Each structure stands twice: as C-alpha cells, then as structure tokens.
Chains A and B, each alone.
Chain A
Amino acid sequence: MKISIRSLIFQMCLPCLIIILLFSCQKNRHKQFEHSDLYPKNKQIQNGGTLVAGIRAEPESLNPLFALSQSARNIIGLVYSRLADINEDLKSYSPRLAKSWDISTDIPRITFHLRTDVQWQDGTPFTSKDVVFTYQMHIDPVVAWDGIAYKQNISSVEAPNNSTVVFSFFQNSRSMLMDAVEGYIVPGHILQSISPKDLFTADFNRHPIGTGPFRFGNWIDMQTITLLKNDKFYEPGKPHLDRIIFRIVPDNFNLLNQLKAGEIDLVEGIYPKDFQSILQNWDQDQSVIRPITYLGRRYDFIGWNMIDPESYRIAVDTGMSPDAIKNDIEPNVLFGRRKIRAALTMALDREAIMNTVNFGMAVPLNGPVPPILPSYNESANASWEYNPQKAKKILSEQGWTDSDGDNILDKNGVPFEFELLTESGNLRWEQVATIVQAQLADIGIRATPRFLEPALLYGKLLPAKDFDAVVIGWSVGLTPDFSPLFHSATFFTPFHFTGYSSPEYDRLDEISKTALSDDKAQEYYDKIAQLLSNDLPYTWLYYRMECSAVHSRFKDIIYDKRGIYINPEDWWIPQSERLFIDTVFQK
C-alpha cells in the first residue's frame, strides 16, 4: 500500500484544521457590560430571584454536628442560626436567636434571653430546651463534634423557662461569650428521638430543619442542593431571594467556565491564576462577574521537624514515658537548632514565593498570629529578611560547609539533604516546594520535594512525626489558640508535629488564656509572637486572600474576613437585572 507524502500531510492536517476552524468561532466576543453598584444608594429592595452557587465537592452532611467541609458549613449557615453572630471586629456579637444577654463575672455566667417569635422550619416553636439539647450534643463524646474545645470551660447549661438559657462556666474568661454561642442550634424535638450513636447515619443529616433564613428544598445526589426561602424566618420581610441552588461541579475548569458563562452566580476559593482573568474581564467591562477578595482564614508555612524521626519512632515503640520522650529524644540533625532554621528562613525569598504562587493574592506573614485577628501585631514578629549570604555564613558557623566539593553542604560526613513533603494535587503547595528546592540549592542544600496524597501525608505527619520538612497550611479560627500546635502538653497530639517544646512558650500560652482584659492578653500574644517567630518551628510563608466571584446583579452582599455568606438574607436582585433563572421557577 503506497501513501504519498501529500496524502499523509493531508490526513494529519485535516483533524487539526477542523479543530482550529471550530475553535475560531466564539460567542459574545468583546461584548461590553455596564456594572451596577454592589450597594445601590437609592434602593427599592425587591423580593424574588435565584442564586446559583458553585461548589466543588458534595457536602458530607447538613447536620451542624457532623459537617466539616466549607461547602457544608456554608449551607448550614443558611439553614440554621446561632444564638448570636460575631461582628467584623471579631470582638462583639449581634443577636440572632438570643435577643440579648447578661454577662456576670462574679459568678462566671451568661444569661441569654431568647426570641419568642422563632419557629423551626417544620412549624414547631423554638425554645430554650433546644439550646440545652444542642449543648448536650456538643459535649457528647459519641457525637464527636469538632468544636468541643469551645465548651470545655462551660460547667452547665440550664433553661429556667422557655425563653431563658443560663450558661455557667468553671472560670472567668474573655472568651465566655464566644464559647457559649459557638455552634448552630439543632432541633431537640427531632433529634432527641435518635440515639447519639445513630446520628451519623440519620436521615436528618440530608433533610435538615433549622431556624435560618432558608429552608431545605431538595438534594439530588452529586448534582444540586436547593434551599428555599423560609417564610417563617424571624426577621420580617427577609430573606429577599426565593431560592439558593448549590450546584456541585467537581472539575475546576468546568466550574469556572460555568461561572464565566453565567450559569453559576457565585464561586468561592478561586485559584489566584484563574482569578486574574476574572479581574481583568471585570476591569475591562467585559464581564458581569464581580471579583471579590478579602483576607481569608488560611496561611501556608514550612514545618521543620525539630526531633529525629527515627529515635522518636523507637522511643514510642519501646514504650518510653512521655516525659522521657519529650526531654531525651534526639534533636533533628538538620533542623534541631534554632540558628539552622533561621538560616533556612533567610535563604528563602518568601516575597517571591508568595507572589509567584498567589499571583499577588496574599500578604506576608512572619509569625503565628493571623492578620485578621485583633491581636495581630506585625511589629511583635521577628524579621528574617532574605539574605542568602548571611544564611550561608550562619550555616558555616554551625559547621555546615561543602568539604567534598559536590556543591552540597555537609558536616561530619552527613550531607545537608532532606525530603520536603507536601500534598499532591495542591498546585500551590507543589509550586512552593519546587521554588524552595531551587532557592535552597543556591546555598548548597538539597531539598527533594515529594508529593503525597492527603491521607498518606497526614498519616506520616500528624501522629507519627515521620518527616523532615513539610509545606502545608492551616485554617485559622476567630480566636488565637496555638496550644495544639506548640504547647508541650500537646506534644503527642497529632497537630503538634514539629516536636517544638519550650517552657517559656508554655508559660505565656497559659497566662494568655487566663488574662481577663484584652490589653493584658495582647501583651502575652505579642510575647508569644516574638518567641515563636524567633524559634521558628515554622517558617511562615504568607497569609492567603480569598478569591471569590459573584454575578453583579446581586446587591448588598457584605463580605469580609468572616467570609461571603455573612448576610444572605439581605441579598436581592433589582427587577431590571433579573435573568431567566430568576423568573423560571415562578411558573
């Protein structure tokens, strides 16, 4: 069989030609859009309309006692209510199910006066019994609620009548109100008939009943979750939207394209690189998708293992006492000394790392206190400027030199090389690990990035401390609590994986928790920040900004460090901007 070259070229080019021709067609190219204000001045709020929010993973449960993922928590926040919601200052609270409260410090106690006009979405009145029941669920070890730490200082919760709840505490603390109101109130009249042991598999977890602005509509497996306006909501005239549909789209490419095509109105957690195009389109009036950024709740860092993993494993296997392990375990030959960790930190151009992997959507972070918290004070953190020459000098003083001319530092025949673990599939962390590898190579350190799937990574890291160094990140709460990460009392708990132990830190940590005034607490937080940023169990890299986007027809969306679902009951759509999806359900 003879095939001419012309024929061969024709055969190869044909499919390419067809593809190029088809791709050259495009809808809506260079269409210009007018952007209306997010907060209209002369507004006439109109009810109705639908918000379609895109989420990447199906929520595991819509029961606040079991929900862990961000998507589940967002939906739960629309269906349920708390006693009070924290304000933007992260210090004061706004009433929700509780209309007011009295704080007593003589006897540590808070008395909540509940609203009497609240109904569960099945019509049953909300009472103080629901609050007491919720507390019982929160502290039940069988339920294993993930916010149980908030309730440790609470000694009892009582309901003297249907509209009053009294929280008693073991001791006075600045966080009593936060401890009391943390967690959504669940319907006691429904859940008390289910044994706590069976709650995890209960049907209620997929058919929730709450007191929030939206009620559960339906849940189509792996497709959509629909919430409908709660006509019984306790704030009159709200919510304004008729429904919120959560559309589950696991593929990021598809999710973004649906957002750009207007099929999805709201997406959170957009990758900074993708966010740039949304930003650009908005700035050039070529899109109705409004980019939204705010300081989020996450930071990334490099964690150094300060103890020798092998001797830790042997000590645990041979049943050494916890105190003996803590005090006698061998320090890590590479990262055991503070000066070495300081040199490694100085060898990294953290600003370049931050800007490269976040496309400008992050701020520098040099210490343990997140910048969203009132207790953040940048001047308290030690500063480790990028200075590879100085880093090299420190390493040389510590005995790490290139004695054999192989461009890798060594000491007593041990080369300075280690594995830098991170989570596979997390593009940001993979990029950080690769840049760190290149920057450390410049001063003669061989860091080998290794990407592990999450269960394997956390299996090695959290309980076993079986690693050299790791690129990872934490989500932060709305109150500073570093004990699980650094206090020596938590040395054997999973999150304390660096093996850091400091009596001075322990002392400061304990005093900061008992300080009753904010000023006094601030003093201790500054000292903690100073100590940890000097000791460097972590090299803090950056604090991330959240990148979200929402269709511009939605008005009065408040967003800040607490997230984007702060006031969904106030969101509305002007009649003139409504789309097909806003009216189709009225038929």
Chain B
Amino acid sequence: MLHGIIRRLLSAIPTLLIGITLCFLIIHLAPGNPATRFLNPSQSAQTQEIIRERFGINQSVPVQYGHWLERVLFHFDFGYSFYNGKSCVVVLISALKPTLILSFWALIFALFVGVSLGIVTATKADTRFDRIINSIMMVFISTPAFWLGLMFIGLFTIRLGWLPGSHLHSLYYDQLNSFGQLLDSVKHLILPVLTLGLPLAATLFKYIRTGMIDALQSDYILAARARGIRQSTILWKYSLKNSLLPVVSLLGVIIPALLSGAVIVEVVFALPGVGRAMVTAVFGRDYPILMAGATLAFITVIFFNMIADILNMVLDPRIRNGSGGL
C-alpha cells in the first residue's frame, strides 16, 4: 500500500506542474492587460512603463513564467498582489481560514443530513415520507447556490429578521463576552453553511439512498436477516458500509467542489475567503493572486483525490488486495 501511495505522490508532481503551467499561460495570454486599471488620461508613456515594470509584465511570457516558477519553487514566494501590493501568501493564508471553516461545517452538515436522511428514506422507500424528502432534495440539487443564498437572505434576514445575512461577525463582536462571540459566529455561519451544504447534502442523500436500497435488497442482507441478526446491525454494519464506498470516492470530487462552491457563497454572504479573493483577482487581472489561488486549487484537488483513493483502498479489500486502484 505504501508503494502505491508513493507512486501516486510522484505522479501528482507532473500533473501539478502541467496544470499550473497551463493556467499561467491561459491567464497571461488572455487579451487585456492588468496595467489598464492604472491608466489615467494624463499618464505619460514613461509612467505606464514603470507600472508594467513594477508588476514584471513588461517581459515576455516565458521569462515571466521562469521568474515566477523560480520564486515559487526556491523561495515559496508567489509575489505581490497587483491590486493592493500585499504578499500573495499572506492574502491566501488569511483568506483560507474562513473558507476552511465554511467548507468544514458545510461538509459536516451535508454528511449528517445526507447520510441520515438517505438511510431513513431507504428503509421507508416508496412511502409518502420518502417521496416528500426526495422532492425536497431535488429542489436543493437543482437550485444554483447563489439563488439559494439570496433566497435565504430574503427569507431569514430580511423577512423574518432571524439571522444575519453577511460577514463573519457583527460589527460589535469585540464588545461581546466569549459566549456572545461564539453565538454571534454561529449565527453568521448558519445561512452560508446551509447554502453550501444543502445541495451537497442532497447529492449525498441520493447516493446513500440508492446504495442502501440496493444493499438492503441484496442476497447477503437477506441471509443476515434469515439468521436473525438485528435490524440495526444489518443497517449500520452491513448495508451502510457498502453504501458508503461510492461516497468515499465522491469525496475526492466533493471537497474541491465545496471550495469552488464557496466562491459564490463567499461573495453573496460577504465572507473573506479564498473564493472571494479569487473573484476580486479575476476581475482585476491580479495575476499573482490568481496563480497562487490556482496552485492551491490544484494541490487541493490532487490531495483529496489521493486521500479518497487511499480511503477506498482501506475500506474495500477488493482494491487493497487486487492490482487495481493505487
């Protein structure tokens, strides 16, 4: 297994390099110029050249790429934002915390809701309860995150006034005691977590429900029932374990999808995460931030795909013992 992990790690390096190279080329070869943001009618050609030089975009794209790669590989320096002059590493590290908090709770929520409703509806398949839950979940699968977010704000913030619709904290957060601060943070997180977590929960629900129904109708469950094994054991030990296998594979896709879903949610709810930093960078042609964000995204995708593969190997003896998989 260790050999497989090492082989997977090594194969990730060229994938990462090819990915970020392509990304660099696409970003830099796209028409338009980040220096146009600084243009003003009275600006001289000399000033324009100084601005291009400040950002290093006065050189050819291969030279820019060489410098960028050297800085990243040997100094872990992704450069400075064209927009505000801040170090890209500092920008991303400070933005990573809210994104991770949001994604973590959205994932926990999605796993809890998706798995539990999937199990319950599988045991009550084709009942009215099953159909109601199914139809509600279909709504969440087919609703775009930004629309869902706006609806939540419209309903819970504007109409009902129950929950705040933006930012991580209230303006007077520092004036609250520890419990008040915790409560304030939780209140601010509920709507973004629901917006990000509900579509994911619905997706997981579909997988779990289908997997559980298949498992519950399979021969080995029938045999277990015939032996008088308790229903809860059958459900949790035998059926769920098999139903979770496709979900584990799905995690390799879900976690990067969570991060990309966070882009919309962070903009709608004004959260200071990586997604919002990337959106600002895209509109401002902030190449260094874009490249730092893209590198982070590539690493995340590769890492979680690898984790999913390893988990699959641990959970599924067919992969562990066979030649496939890793």
Chain A residues packing against B (C-beta within 8 Å) = 1, 3, 7, 10-12, 14-15, 19, 22-23, 25-27, 52, 57-61, 66, 68, 141-142, 144, 146-149, 200-202, 205-206, 220-224, 245, 247-251, 253-254, 257-258, 260-261, 453-460, 462, 481, 484-485, 493-495, 581, 584-585, 587
Contacts and interface: CB of A to CB of B under 8 A. Distances in A.
Interface in B70-127: 80, 83-87, 91, 94-95, 126
Nearest to A496: B41
A585 B172 contact: yes
Nearest to A199: B85
B47 A222 contact: no
B62 to A, nearest CB: 21
A359 to B, nearest CB: 22
Contacts of B37: 68, 455
Contacts of B139: 15
Contact of A257 (B32, B43, B158): B158
Contacts of B36: 454-455, 458-459, 462, 494
A223 B43 contact: no
A148 B38 CA distance: 13
Contacts of A141: 44, 46-47, 50
Contact of A23 (B132, B154, B171, B272): B154
Contact of B150 (A23, A253, A455): A253
B241 interface: no
A-side interface mostly: mixed
A25 B32 contact: no
Interface in B1-37: 30-34, 36-37
A123 to B, nearest CB: 25
Contacts of A144: 38, 43, 47, 50-51, 54
B277 interface: yes
Given A57-B280, A146-B40, A459-B36, A249 B270 contact: yes
15 contacts: A11-B132, A14-B136, A15-B136, A25-B159, A144-B38, A148-B42, A205-B85, A221-B94, A249-B270, A253-B153, A257-B153, A454-B283, A456-B32, A493-B43, A581-B172
Interface residues of B, number: 67
A23 B44 CA distance: 56
A52 B171 contact: yes
B31 A484 contact: no
Contacts of B45: 493
B85 A61 contact: yes
A37 B155 CA distance: 33
B320 interface: no
Given A201-B85, A222-B276, A250-B276, A458 B39 contact: yes
Interface string B266-296: 0111111000110110010100000000000
A585 B165 contact: no
Contacts of B161: 27, 261
A14 B150 contact: no
Contacts of B86: 201, 206
Interface in B133-161: 134-136, 139, 150-151, 153-155, 157-161
Contact of B272 (A66, A220, A251, A495): A220
Nearest to B174: A585
A11 B50 contact: no
Contacts of B131: 3, 7, 10-11
A250 B48 CA distance: 29
A22 B41 contact: no
Interface centre among A141, A222, A257, A453, by most chain B C-beta atoms within 10 angstroms, is A222
A206 B32 CA distance: 28
A519 B136 CA distance: 73
Given A26-B159, A201-B85, A584-B175, A222 B272 contact: yes
Contacts of A7: 128, 131
Contacts of A146: 38, 40, 42-43
Contacts of A581: 171-172
Given A59-B84, A60-B85, A254-B269, 4 more contacts: A27-B159, A146-B38, A201-B85, A453-B32
B135 A14 contact: yes
B160 A22 contact: yes
B175 A587 contact: yes
Contact of B42 (A454, A462, A484): A484
Contacts of A459: 31-33, 36
Interface in B215-248: none
A85 B160 CA distance: 46
Nearest to B36: A458
A223 B33 CA distance: 28
B266 to A, nearest CB: 9
